């Protein structure tokens, strides 16, 4: 039996709409109307969720608090989390991503698009624990700094490779600007954050036709979506700077 998708959402109409569409995609769904109930279900080791869809605006325990708890527990530390956020709650969204949530969608959202995103995140989370990233056009070998785009070697600087690895190791996951600066330049980095954008721009240029495998998430950071149509996520966000 496949592991369920846990939906933590206090609005019954939204929860039921999500359940209906995810079940149509062949996924099993469990609903929780509060953060407390969601935590209890997520930590149930007999039937742990494959993914959590988490509304941030909940009565009682907030979505952010639940996200923090899930990331603290060994059994749910790596469980993908997609946050459902209200328009204009950017600071909360960034806080959630920095706590380790994988992605977010802004309400009101298309339930069918969200179902597609859930399937993409599930597929990527199965693929991610490997020594390389590979799709139809792009290959990234994390151990030996080897990058191939349509079979041709892409020569990158150490920083460019570190940046590409930081993104490609977690396909589909949004990386905030702070996370990328910490990971690639170190915790002590206090320089100009435009450094990041400059490196992303160079990286995209060097990747050529694979350059759009790095998506800009406006106001937040970047997301690696891969280069083939199959691996591609949504393309509805603004192109890079």
Cβ nearer to Ca ion, comparing 86 with 209: 86
The secondary structure element, H or E, covering residue 42 is helix 35-42
Q: Which stretch binds Ca ion (CB under 5 A): 51-59, 112-120, 121-129, 229-237?
A: 51-59
Cβ nearer to Ca ion, comparing 96 with 171: 96
Cβ nearer to Ca ion, comparing 96 with 221: 96
Q: CA dist 152 to 69, 140, 161, 201, Å?
A: 44, 12, 16, 20
Cβ nearer to Ca ion, comparing 8 with 149: 8
What is the bridge-based pairing of β-strands 146-149 and 138-141?
Answer: antiparallel
Work out whether 92 is an interface residue with Ca ion (CB under 5 A). Answer: no
Judge contact between 8 and 66, C-beta under 8 A.
Answer: yes
Minimum distance between the CB of residue 125 and Ca ion, rounded to whole angstroms?
A: 25
Work out whether 57 is an interface residue with Ca ion (CB under 5 A). Answer: yes
User: Residue number with the shortest CB distance to Ca ion?
Assistant: 57
Cβ nearer to Ca ion, comparing 12 with 241: 12
- Characterise 219 by phi-psi region: left (phi > 0), alpha (psi -120 to 50), beta (else): left
Minimum distance between the CB of residue 58 and Ca ion, rounded to whole angstroms?
A: 6
Judge contact between 15 and 61, C-beta under 8 A.
Answer: no
> Pick from 6, 7, 55, 179: which binds Ca ion (CB under 5 A)?
55
Minimum distance between the CB of residue 177 and Ca ion, rounded to whole angstroms?
A: 27
- For the chain, the straight-line distance linking the first and the last C-alpha, in angstroms and rounded, comes to 45
Per CB under 5 A, which of residues 4..43 are in contact with Ca ion? Answer: 10
Judge contact between 140 and 168, C-beta under 8 A.
Answer: yes
Query: Which stretches of the chain bind Ca ion, using CB under 5 A?
Result: 10, 55, 57
């Amino acid at each position: 039996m496949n592991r369920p998708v846990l939906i933590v959402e206090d609005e019954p109409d939204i929860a039921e709409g999500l359940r209906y569409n995810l079940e149509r995609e062949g996924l099993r769904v469990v609903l929780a109307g509060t953060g407390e109930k969601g935590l209890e279900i997520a930590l149930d080791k007999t039937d742990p969720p494959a993914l959590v869809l988490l509304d941030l605006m909940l009565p009682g325990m907030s979505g952010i608090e639940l996200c923090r708890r899930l990331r603290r527990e060994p059994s749910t530390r790596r469980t993908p989390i997609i946050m459902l956020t209200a328009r204009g709650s950017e600071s909360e969204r960034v806080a959630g991503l920095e706590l380790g949530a994988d992605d977010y969608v802004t309400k009101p959202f298309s339930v069918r698009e969200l179902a597609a995103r859930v399937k993409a995140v599930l597929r990527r989370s199965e693929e991610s624990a490997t020594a390389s990233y590979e799709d139809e056009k792009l290959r990234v070998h994390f151990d030996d700094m080897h990058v191939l785009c349509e079979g041709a070697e892409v020569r990158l600087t150490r920083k460019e490779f570190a940046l590409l690895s930081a993104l490609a190791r977690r396909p589909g996951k949004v990386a905030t600007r702070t996370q990328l600066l910490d990971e690639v330049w170190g915790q002590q980095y206090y320089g100009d954050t435009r450094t990041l954008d400059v490196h992303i721009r160079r990286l995209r240029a060097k990747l050529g036709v694979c350059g759009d495998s790095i998506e800009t998430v406006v106001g937040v950071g970047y997301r690696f979506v891969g280069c083939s149509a199959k691996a591609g996520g949504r393309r509805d966000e603004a192109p890079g700077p």
